[in-house]
Amino acid sequence: MNQTAIPFPAAASIGDSHGRCVNYLRISVTDRCNLRCMYCWNSEGMQFLQHADILTYEEILRLVDLAVDMGIRKIRLTGGEPFARKGLLHLLEQMLLRHPGLDLRLTTNATLLSGKVQALKDIGISWLNISLDTFNRQKFQHITGRDMLRNVTGAIDEALDLGMKIKLNAVALKGINDDELPVFINFARRNPVDVRFIEFMPMGHCNRWTQDNFWAAEDILAAARSHAVLTTLGPGERKSGPARLYGIEGGMGRLGFISPMSNHFCNSCNRLRITSDGKLRTCLFSDKEYGLRQILRHPGLSMQHVRRVLENAGKRKPLGYKLLQEMREHTIADKRMNAIGG
Ligand code: SAM
């Protein structure tokens, strides 16, 4: 008789006081990154965490075990740049060996991805989110501080050849990459990828956010319509997480718009974040953190204590748009994305 594997225990989800079901966790495995993106990097230099302050892979695995037991069904590893940390593939493999049905994904700048795609596939990773703000070499160098565009496009080609599913995320930067809208659209036309534009968020002090660079999703959508015929997708397809998706007539891929600033999606937010130094964050726009690392490392405390923190923090998960409304300065969260895990 065939037995259907039941990968997950029937556990209660981490509910919150706004009726949301929290079942998605993003874990930052490092705050370090090999790029120096203009919106992340502080020109006066950045203080990176000491290795001892970063969660070990063993600690991450314990957190993953607990999170899955508490109803988390999707985990995304992020950073900093996740591939900047040694042994990442081993961590991914361990996570899926322990939790075979887990929806495990990765967000990367793809500069270090080349040569690793087959290994990712073998482990069971089938989705990659790749961040790329420009297809122009000089502009890539201007935005990221590194001449590595070819590494990224080469890795994307490799991933597409191997059948990896890709979401290409571009931060929409008015005056910087808005002229490349047709290039991004053509890329989505020619390839089976979701190209998604993300509104620029005022994260972290010194991140050079200005209203001048802000390009609202509605305006990008309107501009996109002058370069392509966008088609409405079926009810089950037109939303993917926070992205609103459109088909491109005659094209293989889709276009997506993510509007954390102009059209918040707080009511359906289902995610928690754990920073590389083991702090739980319940909202991208809130600096409130719940320390997990000291509990994990305390000889007198157990995973039951971590569970309680997750439960309580889940209940206190705020509605981020209210924090945005209260925003007095341009910066809405103290930390830059490399520290939070974008
Ligand atoms: N290194 C990985 C990558 O590049 O995907 C993961 C970390 S990175 C911080 C995650 C994403 O956050 C990237 O797509 C980056 O462009 C985006 N990001 C960083 N700062 C941002 C901001 N102020 N507004 C919008 N997106 C931002």
Q: Is the beta carbon of 35 within 6 A of some atom in ligand 1?
A: no
Confidence of residue 165 (pLDDT cuts 50, 70, 90): very high
Alpha-carbon span 137 to 157, nearest angstrom: 16
Task: Judge if the beta carbon of residue 81 lies within 6 A of ligand 1.
Answer: yes
Q: Using the atom order of ligand 1, give the atom closest to the CA of residue 40.
A: 20
CB-ligand 1 contact for 117 (6 Å cutoff): no
- Determine which residue's CA is closest to atom 11 belonging to ligand 1: 342
CA of 131 to the centre of ligand 1 (A): 7
| Residue range 108-115: mean pLDDT, rounded | 98
Tell me the CA–centroid distance for residue 144 and ligand 1, in Å: 11
Of 78, 152, 135, residue with least CA distance to 337: 78
**Which residue has its alpha carbon closest to ligand 1 atom 25?**
200
Whether the CB of 295 sits within 6 Å of ligand 1: no
* CATH for the 24-340 domain, from 3.40.50.620, 1.20.1050.40, 3.20.20.70, 3.40.50.300: 3.20.20.70
Positive or negative, the Cα torsion across 88, 93, 95, 101?
A: positive
Q: Which residues contact 148 (CB under 8 A, 6 or more apart)?
A: 34, 35, 111, 140
pTM of the model: 0.93
Q: Is the CB of 33 under 6 A from ligand 1?
A: yes
Is the predicted pLDDT of residue 236 greater than 50, yes or no? yes
Cα of 285 vs centre of ligand 1, distance in Å, is 14
Q: Is 78 in the pocket of ligand 1 (CB under 6 A)?
A: yes
CA 132 to ligand 1 centroid distance, Å? 9
Structure tokens at 3: 């037995």
CA neighbor of 8 nearest in space, from 59, 73, 91, 60: 73
What DSSP string describes 199-239?
A: E---BSTTS---GGGB--HHHHHHHHHTTS-EEEPPTTTSE
- Give the whole-angstrom CA distance, residue 171 versus residue 103: 25
pLDDT of 327 above 50: yes
Tell me what pLDDT residue 21 has: 87
Residue 193, number of CB atoms within 10 A of its CB: 21
Q: Quick check: 2 pLDDT over 50?
A: no
pLDDT in tens, 32-91: 999 999 988 876 677 899 999 999 999 999 999 999 999 999 999 999 999 999 999 999
Which pLDDT score, from 0 to 100, does residue 319 have? 81
Per-domain residue ranges of the chain: 24-340
144 pLDDT band, cuts 50/70/90, is very high
- Residues ≥6 apart with Cβ < 8 Å to 94: 57, 61
Output the residue whose Cα is nearest ligand 1's atom 1.
81
